[in-house]
Copies of this chain bind each other. A is one copy, B any other.
Amino acid sequence: MTATKSKTWKIKDIKGGITSAQGFRAGAVTAGIKASKKADCGLIISDFPCCCAGAFTTNAVRAASVDWCERLLPSKSIRAVFCNSGNANACTGKQGIADTKKIALDIAKLLDSEKEVVLVAQTGVIGHFLPMDKIGKSIPGLVNNTKKSVANSGADFARAIMTTDTKMKECSFTVSTKSGTFLIGGCTKGSGMIHPNMATMLAFITTDAKISPQNLNLVVKKTVNKTFNNLTVDGDTSTNDMVLVLANGATGVSVNQGDPLLAFEEALYKVCEVLCQKIAEDGEGATKRVEINVCKAASFEDAKKAAKAIANSNLVKTALFGNDPNWGRILCAIGYSGAIFSKENIVLRLCGTTVFKSMRPVVFDAKKLSNLMKKPVVHIDVALGTGKESAVAHTCDLTYDYIKINAEYHT
């Protein structure tokens, strides 16, 4: 992620998502899992076997689908990713395990493949058995849908995986390297129960670059640790979190070493960062997105601890909702974060205004700063004063609507 003086690659933002890269198709159907009757099952298919790596929730209570995927990855032969919303298939015991396997098997049959090339992801309410009759009946239509070459089918998939999300979330980039040009794009869902460790909720990323499963795995773990793992909406680590990255090599552009590998890493970071920002912006009840940059830390871990403690503080997040420059709550959160910092050198900035420095409060115009806090993105910048490392955390404010959504999202 360091900006070299003479970069040999170029990354350009383009419209699109998981079907931007060559050889990837997607589709969606309404199986009837959600009461809303909106699309609730999506499928990604690659024309060629994919190298695939992932990152998964660290919650000890995990959905059967998380275990299914983690056991199969990294892999070099993935063909499809199924995802349903409306039901997390978590805390459902042996029945849940059997149901996940059955879905993989049904799809694999229609692709003339083994079930081990089909990944499964799920999101929704915990502790309810999947309506397998409805899902089973919808699978042939779903596979058929992905065979049609339809524009925006990636967006259809991105919409089918939404739960309390209010916006579909996708992005994509072209990456031109000296070895050739490839595409990378992704989509994600997530709005509440967001405190990934790994990974927030679900994110699916595809690329037509060529990369080994080992390299892909390393880059994915490293990037997720810097992006999705520093994202929080409410401090609750979900049972179903996963990030899957599929590389089908359709362009023949190898990114296994040198500058192309650096380019791929930067592009993957960009995709993950944009998807994180989109989740924070669409956090349950959020009126604004918050980006916390902690720098001058002795280690990345220190910077991360401080940034995440601020991002997780209900008191900081309600103050942000109230446009209240109550910076004491930010310093308090750094204090209990466990991060090492210098009491003498710590500097705290809110929306670009310095509020604490040289061990004492700095006088500022509270009305002016409160007005700056009304913008859609609020920046909190902290220099810990102990070194050169940094980390970024993403979150949103805590509002009446978060309470409303979660007190009324009935089981």
Q: Which residues of A contact B (CB under 8 A)?
A: 58-62, 88, 90-95, 125-128, 192-193, 195, 197, 234-239, 312-315, 318-319, 321-322, 324-329, 331-336, 341, 356, 359-361, 366, 398-400, 402-404, 406-411
Contact = CB atoms under 8 A, between A and B. Distances in A.
6 contacts: A61-B332, A93-B359, A321-B407, A399-B403, A400-B400, A400-B403
Contacts of A239: 328, 332, 335
A127 B59 contact: no
A94 B329 contact: no
A409 B398 CA distance: 14
Which has the most chain B C-beta neighbours within 10 Å: A128, A319, A328, A404?
A328
A361 B197 contact: no
One complex includes copies of this chain to the number of: 2
Contacts of A403: 318, 321, 398-400, 402-403
Which of A88, A127, A325, A366 has the largest number of chain B CB atoms within 10 A? A127
Given A314-B234, A411-B366, A331 B92 contact: no
Contacts of A400: 400, 403-404
For A91, A356, A360, the residue with the greatest tally of chain B CB atoms inside 10 Å of its CB is: A91
B91 A331 contact: yes
Contacts of A408: 322, 324
A332 B236 contact: yes
Nearest to A328: B126
Contacts of A92: 360-361
A396 to B, nearest CB: 13
Contacts of A88: 328
A315 B366 CA distance: 33
A165 B236 CA distance: 27
A236 B326 contact: no
Given A356-B91, A403-B398, A408-B322, A331 B236 contact: no
Given A236-B314, A331-B91, A336 B127 contact: no
A127 B361 contact: yes
B406 A318 contact: yes
B406 A335 contact: no
Nearest to A91: B331
B235 A335 contact: no
Contacts of A62: 335
A360 B126 CA distance: 11
A404 B359 CA distance: 31
B126 A332 contact: yes
Nearest to A62: B335
Given A237-B335, A326-B411, 9 more contacts: A58-B336, A61-B331, A62-B335, A91-B331, A127-B356, A128-B361, A192-B315, A239-B335, A400-B400
A193 to B, nearest CB: 6
Nearest to A312: B235
A197 B90 CA distance: 32
Contacts of A238: 332
A59 B335 contact: yes
A166 to B, nearest CB: 18
Contacts of A399: 403, 407
Contacts of A331: 61, 91, 126-127
A398 B192 CA distance: 15
B407 A313 contact: no
Contacts of A195: 336
A409 B127 CA distance: 38
A322 to B, nearest CB: 3
A237 B336 contact: yes
